[in-house]
Amino acid sequence: MSDQTAPLIDPFARAITYLRVSVTDRCDFRCTYCMSEHMTFLPKAELLSLEELDRLCTAFVDLGVKKLRITGGEPLVRRGIMTFFEGMGRHLVTGALDELTLTTNGSQLRRFAQPLADAGVRRVNVSLDTLDEKKFADVTRWGRFAQVMDGIDAAIEAGLKVKINAVALKGVNDDEVEKMVEWCHARAMDLTFIEVMPMGDDIDRLDQYWSLKDLRARLEESWQLVDIPYKTGGPARYVRVEETGGRVGFITPLSHNFCESCNRVRLTCTGQLYMCLGQDDDADLRKVLRASDDDAVLHDAIRRAIDRKPKGHDFDYSRQKVAGEMGRHMSHTGG
């Protein structure tokens, strides 16, 4: 195997096979834990073009990345985004890529679910933190609940497997987690709960933080949860709810970090590669892209970046203070 085609292995012997790609920092919602209400968005010249995104993602696929998750902002508000999905679909056809998927707020799925399925997308994650229409409006600020519900229906109609991602928010959705499990499982959808992360500059996350250990204990008051080895390539640990037959996942960056098995890196819409969501070190791949048409140079820059991937993040809410807090918004890095 030549150096050009050798897989990406980080300094801790972890194979990097999963790339999360933000294709835009823009969104049609303003979720309180993700961005401020009055965001200043990036000028177009700073964003990677769709052609640059294709070239960069293809370079990662050439280097052994098997799963691409497209994020934002809201990826489906990026103009012309289906061109990119259709382009990436060629790697599914050749077998170079195992999975092309996206995380969305669901608002645009009525329009895009069928074209996404036609491009080779098989699963989508929909971010939905509450089933209460008023709370939904409060959390998303700009979101339209009925539109999201319709989008989820459209995804199911198109044959897409839907997973719901819910951020566990104390004082917001802690009174409806049982209802969310029942609602998802009645529709054959997995549900994953995520601990709120200390990111962004406009809110103190400590008041909202709800350990998923406590959330799980709460679910166990109503149901029997059985740990299962199910994996989707990401950091979630899954259980099966015996009474419903459905799956619930837990993503716990704070109460139990999962860094030892991290196979992921994140690419922002401006071409910055973050080797860890919870560290500020990044590599400027946009500069490399725009300086040279030689993919060997790009491959080399990617390898050098992976060589700097840290062992783990420093997020910690213990001792009633936030350690490892990040100033950038989740919408910038792409979830």
269 is in an annotated binding site: no
User: How far apart (Å, rounded) are the C-alpha atoms in residues 246 and 243?
Assistant: 8
The answer on whether 103 is annotated among ligand-binding residues is yes
Residue 69 annotated as binding? yes
> Is 264 marked as a binding-site residue?
yes
31 is in an annotated binding site: yes
Is 57 annotated among the ligand-binding residues? no
**Could you give the CA distance from residue 178 to residue 228 in angstroms, rounded to a whole number?**
20
**Cα-based distances in Å from 94 to 90, 99, 155, 232, 295:** 6, 12, 25, 21, 19
DSSP state of 39: -
CA distances (Å), 51 to each of 88, 181, 209, 315, 325, in order? 11, 40, 39, 35, 34
Instruction: Please give the backbone phi and psi of residue 42, each rounded to the nearest 5 degrees, phi first.
Output: -75, 145
Element (H, E) at 238: strand 237-241
Does 32 appear as a known binding residue?
no
Peptide linkage before 73 cis (omega within 30 of 0)? yes
> Phi and psi (nearest 5°) for 176?
-135, 20
Asked if 126 and 154 touch (Cβ cutoff 8 Å), the reply is no
Tell me: is residue 262 an annotated ligand-binding position.
yes
18 is annotated as contributing to ligand binding:
no
Determine whether the annotation assigns residue 134 to a binding site. Answer: no
163 belongs to an annotated ligand binding site = yes
Q: Sign of the C-alpha dihedral, residues 143, 35, 128, 137?
A: negative
d(CA 152, CA 28) in angstroms, rounded, equals 16
- Is 33 among the annotated ligand-binding positions? yes
Task: Tell me the one-letter amino acid at 183.
Answer: W
The answer to the question of whether 27 is labelled as a binding residue is yes
Distance between CA atoms of residues 12 and 15, nearest Å = 9
Asked whether residue 330 is marked as a ligand-binding residue, the answer is no
Please indicate if the annotation marks 122 as binding a ligand: no
DSSP per-residue letters across 122-182: -EEEEE---S-HHHHHHHHSS--HHHHHHHHHHHHHTT-EEEEEEEEBTTTTTTSHHHHHH
Tell whether residue 218 is among the known ligand binding residues.
no
184 annotated ligand-binding residue? no
Which residues are known binding-site members for [4Fe-4S] cluster? 27, 31, 34, 259, 262, 276
Which residues are known binding-site members? 20, 27, 31, 33-34, 69, 73, 103, 127, 163, 197, 259, 262, 264-266, 276
Which residues are known binding-site members for S-adenosyl-L-methionine? 33, 73, 127, 197
Which residues are known binding-site members for GTP? 20, 69, 103, 163, 264-266
